Each structure stands twice: as C-alpha cells, then as structure tokens.
A and B are shown apart, each in its own frame.
Chain A
C-alpha cells in the first residue's frame, strides 16, 4: 500500500500513463478488475501473475489497444509508445526482412537502424527474412524496432520469452540501458512469477485484480540465489516474494485471510460484509489453496 500512496502523491507531468480502478470485461466476464497503476518517466513497472491473470489485458489497456469497461485510463497527451507484443504471427506470404521490420510504423535512418539492431544483438541478421528467425532472435528484433522509435513509454510483453538464460540476463541489461540512456518509462510483463528484472521499481502481481504490489528484493542480497545465478545474473535479476492475504479458489471465488469467501477479490470485500456471504452455501474444499 506504500507504493500506492507514493504514486498518487507524485501525479505530475512525469506520469506517462495512469489507470484508476480500470476493469475490462469481454463477453460478460471480467478479464481484470480494479487495476490502479501508473508509470512515470524513468520508472520500470513489472506485471507478474499466472496465465489468464490479465497481465497482457492490463498492458494493452494502458496503451489504448483495449478500452476499459470501467474506471479510467489517462495517457500523457503526446505519449510516444514502443510496443513489443507477446506474439507476432507473420504470414509467410509477406516477405519482410529484419531491416524492413525496423521501419514498420515510422521511418528511420540506415545508421539508426544498424545501431538499434547492434544494441539488441541482432546486427548480423539485418538482411535476414523475419520468417527465418528463431523465437529469441525475433524477440530481439522486435525490441530493437520498439527502441528505435525513441518511445516515452516502452511496453514489453514477456520480452525474454524464447531467450536462453544468458540471453535473458543480456536483454535485461539492454532494457536497463535503454531506460538509463533515454529516460523512458517501461511497463514490462514477466513470464516468471518470482524472478523479475532487478531494476524494477514496482512489481504488480495480478490475478484478475491487483493481488499485491511492492518493490522486488535484489538477488544480490540473497547469497543462495547469487550462488545459483552467478554474479552477473544476480545484478540483473531480482526476487519478488509474495505475501497474499487471500487465495483464489478454482470456481473463481476468493477466500480471504479471515476465512470469508467472496465472489470477487475487491480490496474491501474481505473486510466489510457483503450480500454474497449469505449465498456462500457450499463448504469450501481445502485442496484449493495451492497459491
């Protein structure tokens, strides 16, 4: 909760995007609800959470690909976004070289393109067809394309998927370097529930709503992890320890720390007594507190 008051206090011109109690429903089902988040210039915010927890939906709503069904999303007026989606399915009938991919949404000079590709470690692949790239190479090319735009806000949906461990560490170093050099804000989705990029300022754990948020703990602080990952990796990775006060049941309901069960996990549902309690007829099986 400390993070929240901090972000509210600092609502300034530095804020790139802000979501207030945003919820997105599709086909009568809430994909994610009650999201509060903000990304400021120079800040790295990482979203974590299990599959289907609404990470991508939240990020896509933040940059205007989806419209919120409730709540508000506010973006800085001249916000320049660089976006790396989780998956890009390219039809093979479309011939596209890596170099041409770089100027997909905006023109760029040859030298800039070279520099961006070199920085992402795929300078040697400029002439290669995108369809012939491996998953990790494609990911780097997409990152190079996004940073080439010199964005105010870089949104990375699982940027290290398909990248091996050393590559992951190198990519995190690159992302940190982009932030340090350009001062852009970064909204990142991590594929890992516990390990995030070390320079992350705020971790937000989603599971249909914001379960918890906070700062990650450096792996450097933890000798056993430092031993596991090696020194260089330990500088790029951080741990996020979860302390959830509630459990998601398989039927979508939520059991809170005080034992009450609610339909949704709005922040206050566990504390103030709600109509739904009377309907919580079936006894809850104990096998569901896997998390």
Chain B
C-alpha cells in the first residue's frame, strides 16, 4: 500500500497533523504564533549548518530551532527590546543567514524550494517511520506535560505557587516545538509549518467546550485538511504543501459562518444584539 507515492504522502501528512493539532492549541493559547514562525524560519539556518558540518538534517534543524528559542528567552529576560521586535529580528535574520549560507555552498546541490515549501510527495517509507516515531514521542511528552503546561498557560503564578514548575513546562514545550519543526520541514516546508500549528487549532476553538476537546478536534481537523489538500493538489495539479494549507484555511472560514444552532458561547468578536 505504501508503494504508492500518494498514499505515502497521505499517511505522512495525517501523522504530522495529529501532532501539530494539539501542540498548535498551546501555540494559540499562549499567543506564540509569531514565536513558532521564528523557530521555523531558523530551520533554514539549521539546514545550512547541517550541510556544512555534515550532520543529519533533522538533528541540525532541531538543535538550531531549540537554540533560537533559548536565545529568545535569554534576550527577553534582559528586556533589551519588546518580544515582538526581538522575534522580528531573530525570525528574519536566521532565515536570511540560512539563505546566504546555502548560496555559498556551491559544492552541494540544495533544493531550496523543497526546504521552503516542502515536498510531501517525495516522502519515503523511512520518512514515515521517523514521522510516526517522532510524533508518538512528542505526543507522549505532551500528554505527560499536559496539566502543568495548561496550568502555566492559564496563570504561571498559580502553577509556580502550587508546585508545577511553569519554567520547566515552557522549556519542554519549546523543545517539542523544535522537534515538530524538524519533523515537518520536509513535508510542508519551513514557511508553512506554523500554518499547520495554528489554523486547525483556531478552527477547533469554535466547536470546543474544553481544552482537551479542542486538542483532539484540532488534530482531526488537521488530518482532514491534509486529505482535502492532497486530493485537491492531485486533482488540480497544484503544489501539495500550499494546497494543504489552503484546505485548512477553507475549513477555518467555514467554521466562522454562523450556525443556526448556537452551541456554546460565542467568540468575543461576535456581538449579540
């Protein structure tokens, strides 16, 4: 079954979406969308450095993304600039550094478009194994970390006072993000990873009554986007990574349409007469 490239792409994409959904919920709750983007952009620097140092690409990307997040925490503590400005600096300078370094490396043929936008149709069986093994590890850690991380998200002071170590949760969470970025880069590319984290989670918000429900819904909505996007890309011969993101966007837009059965509370942007 996995001999067909399309089936391989579907299996890989669904595996990734099942991980990015729950993780993406925390990205949305903690308002870390731009932060995730910054970590993803630093992945290209990771690619360049891995090529120079001849280490595994995924390991290099994970290390650089993790270092970028640590650098941000450090700079934040020094209060030199606002987090927003720091993210802007770090995000684009790591991306630019990566591009420049790749351009210098004339001795290796680098498929830049593949790194930026991913190539899910070129996924191998070994890639699928990595995605599912890595995804299972990330999900297991997230489940283990769930209560302290959620408490720290609601209020870090309560988490600290009641012994749940919010700083440790935050650190592990950043490492999980770096791992997911390393896994996802080959599938959707570093420019589109954040979309898979944020859009399914944002879509799930409307229908969720609790954090756990929202995480599961986000995973399912992400998987559905992968199926829809890949099918459409086959049908219309469009690039696969962007097609998945467009499918996720369509689902998000559908979730915004007012339903006749008003279930749960309305988001704050909707005002009732």
- Chain A interface residues (CB < 8 Å from chain B): 60, 63-65, 81-83, 85, 88, 90-97, 100-101, 104-106, 129, 131-132, 149, 155
Contacts and interface: CB of A to CB of B under 8 A. Distances in A.
Given A93-B29, A131-B268, 8 more contacts: A81-B162, A88-B155, A90-B154, A93-B205, A95-B208, A105-B159, A105-B164, A106-B162
B162 A100 contact: no
Nearest to A103: B147
Contact of A83 (B161, B202, B264): B161
B209 interface: yes
A28 to B, nearest CB: 13
Interface residues of B, number: 30
B267 A105 contact: no
B167 to A, nearest CB: 11
Contacts of B213: 95
A131 B213 CA distance: 17
A85 B162 contact: no
A129 B209 CA distance: 8
B264 A94 contact: no
Contacts of A106: 147, 162
B250 interface: no
A106 to B, nearest CB: 7
B92 interface: no
Interface centre among B147, B153, B157 (most CB of A within 10 A): B157
Nearest to A81: B161
Nearest to B267: A92
B157 A83 contact: yes
A100 B150 CA distance: 11
Contact of A65 (B28, B30, B31, B160): B160
Interface string B19-52: 0000000001111000000000000000000000
Contact of B163 (A81, A85, A104): A81
A105 B158 CA distance: 8
B265 interface: yes
B162 A149 contact: yes
A65 B150 contact: no
B116 interface: no
Contact of A129 (B151, B164, B265): B265
B153 A94 contact: yes
28 contacts: A60-B161, A65-B157, A65-B160, A81-B162, A82-B162, A83-B157, A83-B158, A88-B155, A88-B158, A90-B154, A91-B30, A91-B31, A93-B202, A93-B205, A94-B29, A95-B210, A95-B211, A95-B214, A95-B264, A96-B154, A96-B210, A100-B210, A104-B154, A105-B162, A129-B264, A129-B265, A131-B268, A155-B161
A95 B209 contact: yes
Given A83-B162, A129-B265, A94 B154 contact: yes
Contact of A94 (B161, B211, B265): B211
A129 B205 CA distance: 13
Contact of A104 (B29, B151, B208, B264): B151
A85 B155 contact: yes
A147 to B, nearest CB: 13
A59 to B, nearest CB: 9
A92 to B, nearest CB: 5
A24 to B, nearest CB: 15
A65 B161 contact: yes
Contacts of A91: 29-31
